[in-house]
């Protein structure tokens, strides 16, 4: 069986485990070919590293897209994450229109913020336009902050129980046009995980793991990459979410055990083989 190809449209941070430095090894070990289209290059990620460099790569989108199209490349999945400019949203929509086929999985991780606030680089215009990119997705994976932004609701309205979470999943599905995974879901501070709605089956699933009391940068990218790898293997959305939640939980447990610096991310390399 041919190896499945993923066009991964994300930033790359040279140090600090996140984005493409996480996505590339995860998808590879899970049997998929990751073809990166970097949105920006940073010397480190932006959380906890003062003085980082930032190179916007917007000018490379059209040449790369045109070259890949001239090669007649075909992708089983298109996966977008952190974006460097509002212009990139339109360029990714163009990329999707040129490469999406009937069975192409389009995963949009609408990276915009966390803990109730947008990231400093995300303007109101970018946040508004992110909703139009999500319209082209077959699956979106917002955290609770991003879910609130997409729905135009205050973060204080974020659901704190299963009933409310189910309601937000339905709203985010855009009238049943796309599946949804909301990450960072917690109801009683003893468990943390993700809630998913598979619009094809109508099944809602809660993939929860024990709360370890620590939030670490880059785990959202890690979760989404494992989720995508599972879906490309043929797992249903609920099972893929549970695999991703379990893997992230185990990585955080290692992070806590080894007393690692938060800004360096979780040591996923130690158990990457478990995803084979």
The two structure tokens encoding residue 16? 């600090």
CA-CA distance, 194 to 131, in Å (whole number)? 21
Q: Are the C-beta atoms of residues 215 and 48 closer than 8 Å to each other?
A: no
User: Dihedral through CA 252, CA 258, CA 259, CA 263, nearest 10?
Assistant: -60
**Mean pLDDT score, 60-65:** 97
Return the pLDDT at 119. Answer: 86
Cα 85 to the chain's mean position, in Å?
A: 17
pLDDT tens for each residue of 12-28: 999 999 999 999 999 99
pLDDT tens for each residue of 29-45: 999 999 999 999 999 99
Asked if residue 220 has pLDDT above 90, the reply is yes
The two structure tokens encoding residue 188? 């009683």
The two structure tokens encoding residue 36? 């990166």
Q: Are the C-beta atoms of residues 159 and 178 closer than 8 Å to each other?
A: no
Q: Are the C-beta atoms of residues 46 and 14 closer than 8 Å to each other?
A: no
pLDDT tens for each residue of 88-145: 999 999 999 999 999 999 999 999 999 899 988 888 899 999 999 999 999 999 999 9
CA-CA distance, 27 to 229, in Å (whole number)? 6
CA-CA distance, 212 to 189, in Å (whole number)? 9
Return the pLDDT at 217. Answer: 86
């Amino acid at each position: 069986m041919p190896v499945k190809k993923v066009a991964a449209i994300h930033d790359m941070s040279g140090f600090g485990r996140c984005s493409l430095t996480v996505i590339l090894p995860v998808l590879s070990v899970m049997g998929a070919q990751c073809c990166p289209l970097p949105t920006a290059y940073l010397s480190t990620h932006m959380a906890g590293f003062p003085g980082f460099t930032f190179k916007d790569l917007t000018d490379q989108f059209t040449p790369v897209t045109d070259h890949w199209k001239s090669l007649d490349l075909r992708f089983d999945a298109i996966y977008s994450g952190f974006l460097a400019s509002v212009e990139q949203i339109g360029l990714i929509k163009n990329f999707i229109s040129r490469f999406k086929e009937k069975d192409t999985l389009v995963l949009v991780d609408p990276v915009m913020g966390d803990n109730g606030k947008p990231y400093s680089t995300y303007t109101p215009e970018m946040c508004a336009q992110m909703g139009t990119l999500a319209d082209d997705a077959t699956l979106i994976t917002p955290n609770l902050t991003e879910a609130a932004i997409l729905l135009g609701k205050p973060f204080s309205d974020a659901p704190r129980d299963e009933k409310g979470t189910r309601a937000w999943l339905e709203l985010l599905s855009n009238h049943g046009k796309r599946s949804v995974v909301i990450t960072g879901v917690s109801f009683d501070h003893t468990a943390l995980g993700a809630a998913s709605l598979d619009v094809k089956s109508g099944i809602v699933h809660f993939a929860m793991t024990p709360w370890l009391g620590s939030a670490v940068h880059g785990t959202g990218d890690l979760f989404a990459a494992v989720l995508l790898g599972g879906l490309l293997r043929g797992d249903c959305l609920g099972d893929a979410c549970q695999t991703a939640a379990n893997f992230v939980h185990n990585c955080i447990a290692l992070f806590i055990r080894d007393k690692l610096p938060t800004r360096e991310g979780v040591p996923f390399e130690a158990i990457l083989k478990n995803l084979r």
